[in-house]
Amino acid sequence: MYPDMKSEMDGVNDIFSSMGNFTAAFGMDQLNFGTLIGFYAVEGGNILGIGGAFFAAITGITALMKEERDRTAEFLMTHPVSRGRVITEKLVSTFTLIILLNVIVLVCSWISVVMINEEIEWKDVLLIHLAFLILQFEIAGICFGISAFISRSGIGIGIGIAAVMYFINIVANISDDAKVLKYITAFGYTEGADIIYDHGLKMEYVIPGMVFMLVGIVAGYVKYSRKDIRA
């Protein structure tokens, strides 16, 4: 898309600059859409952020409940393995799938940039991808913990959590009075403009996110270890 739109980017920037809160909501008021890194941060970031968040939510929310949902608990639990090992292997598989998704996307992005013969700041690109990887880990960890408390389909719950976090971040971008919401949404540290201008992640938002992730994982371990699993 970028090569076809490049010559028209000045006009696009003018349009965005006149759209007020809409551009602020998506961080486009601080980025130059006419540069490849600005275009990548907005377009690629939105796709990887929303799509990756939904993928992580679905993967995490189904991790521990699928034995009850699919009636395979009797088969799994009769094997000579502890519940702790089952939980750990499910958690590792969840994070492995997320890592594979991000590796595939990053490789495709690199191929695309090479194909269009454009220069881009790869350090910023890698930081953007790192931010979304951490976001996906956080959402997966939270949903992983919730997965231990449910036995039916919880995909709607997982997607709902990711969607609510996304819209909370939009509210925080629009209103200065709502900036505190950045501390509770995983999208708070994935703003492309902040990453590009700071050449780093805002750790004041990353650290609370990792705490939420760990709380979710610990809750999943505690609940699933004591859970009366229906075969």
8 belongs to a structural domain: no
CB 59 within 8 A of CB 98: yes
Please state whether the predicted TM-score (pTM) of the whole model is above 0.75: yes
For residue range 163-206, list pLDDT tens digits in order. 999 999 888 888 778 889 999 999 989 988 888 888 899 999 99
219 belongs to a structural domain: yes
Residue 219 pLDDT class (50, 70, 90 cuts): very high
Structural domain range at position 85: 36-226
Residue carrying structure tokens 């194909």: 115
15 belongs to a structural domain: no
81 belongs to a structural domain: yes
The Cα–Cα gap between 110 and 102 comes to 12
The Cα–Cα gap between 181 and 196 comes to 21
Task: State the SS3 of 53-79.
Answer: HHHHHHHHHCCCCHHHHCCCHHHHHCC
The Cβ of residue 167 has, within 10 Å, a number of other Cβ atoms equal to 12
Helices 83-116 and 45-61, packing angle to 10 deg: 160
Three-point CA angle 86, 90, 95, nearest 5°: 150
Distance from chain centroid for Cα 182: 14
CB 194 within 8 A of CB 57: no
Judged against a pLDDT cut of 90, whether residue 133 lies above it is answered with yes
Amino acid at 139: I
25 belongs to a structural domain: no
What is the pLDDT, as a whole number, of residue 100?
97
214 belongs to a structural domain: yes
110 belongs to a structural domain: yes
Contacts of 48 (CB under 8 A, 6+ apart): 102, 105, 129, 132
CB 41 within 8 A of CB 192: yes
Highest mean pLDDT among 4-8, 61-65, 78-82, 150-154: 61-65
First-to-last alpha carbon distance for the chain, in angstroms, is 50
For residue range 89-124, list pLDDT tens digits in order. 999 999 999 999 999 999 999 998 899 888 888 999
Contacts of 151 (CB under 8 A, 6+ apart): 65, 68, 69, 230
22 belongs to a structural domain: no
Residue carrying structure tokens 């013969």: 117
How many domains, the chain? Answer: 1
